[in-house]
A = this chain, B = another copy of it.
Amino acid sequence: MYGGPVKIFGAELAHPVVNGSGTFDALAARRVFGEQLDARFPFAAYVSKTITLEPRPGNPPPRLWELGQGMINSIGLPNKGLARFIEEDLPAYAMLPAPLIVSVMGFSGDELAAAVEALGERSEILAFELNFSCPNVETGNIVGSSPEETAAMTSLLRGRTEKPLIAKLSPSSARPDQIALAAEQAGANAVSLINTLPGMAVDPSGGGPWLGGGGGGMSGPAVRPVALAQVSRVAEAVEIPVIGMGGVSCGRDAREMLDAGATLVGVGTENFRDPAAGERILAELRELNQSSVERK
């Protein structure tokens, strides 16, 4: 049965479709789409855009580059910082019709620990996603591509909250399974992958990088084969649940993620092409139950 309720982190989610961090701003969407958004909220749990201790403006424009089957972004984690997140956004997120997963990132273990600690007992929050793998900030992807550093960071945070921790892994590794195992052994309750692949685009007017941040992160259908390979390899290695994402744009893609071993499926870039992508993908996934006799 595809598309049914999922038990995870002691909660029951209505279905397995969630958003990828940073690909759906529920607060902006509610302003744009009004109350229909609540009635048709497309995700079983909502993952916030990654926040950091201090506010960040993000990278200078241009931040986007289109590919034939995806895009490269150099957003650079713009966010209002922890204090204003707690004051302004957390109450608003709490009113969403889906449990909240807060994505956090830090430029040091202490920074990350401070953020997790400050939020660690908030009842609005179901779980934390630890973004160990953002290619758009200097040190973003380094921690996550080392099993040792991923383990060290996870252990450090494990002591700061009772809430479930999801380690968002780096895709920049020949052994994502080892990174996932390191996170599991250090106390992570789930892993999510893949984050965007580091990539670059050249200014067509000649020379130099196009993106304001120099490089960026590639996402969308172009990265789906990489995501499937890593998700299936990781899911074989760990016992904890896997949140699989990368290029999912239809029900069939979601099914392939689930078949590869994911417990939840994240939808990212497809949200940009279709604001209700989550809803559509879930519907398509459920329709596949009818045709699931086809499966070997």
- Interfacial residues, chain A to chain B (CB-CB below 8 A): 65, 67-70, 72, 141-142, 144-145, 170, 172-175, 197-203, 205-208, 215-216, 218, 221-222, 225-226, 228-230, 232, 256, 259-260, 292, 294-296
Contact = CB atoms under 8 A, between A and B. Distances in A.
Within the oligomer, what is the number of copies of this chain? 2
28 contacts: A67-B69, A67-B222, A68-B221, A68-B222, A69-B69, A72-B225, A141-B174, A142-B175, A144-B174, A170-B174, A173-B174, A174-B198, A199-B225, A199-B226, A199-B229, A200-B232, A200-B260, A201-B228, A202-B228, A202-B256, A202-B259, A203-B296, A205-B294, A206-B292, A207-B296, A208-B296, A215-B229, A218-B226
Contacts of A205: 294, 296
Contacts of A173: 145, 172-174
Contacts of A222: 67-70, 222
Nearest to A206: B295
A208 B72 CA distance: 30
A105 to B, nearest CB: 15
A222 B247 CA distance: 12
Nearest to A230: B198
A200 B225 contact: yes
Looking at A65, A201, A222, the one whose CB has the most chain B CB atoms below 10 A away is A222
A229 B215 CA distance: 7
Contacts of A201: 225, 228
A70 B141 CA distance: 26
A141 to B, nearest CB: 5
A72 B98 CA distance: 37
Contacts of A70: 222
A129 B228 CA distance: 30
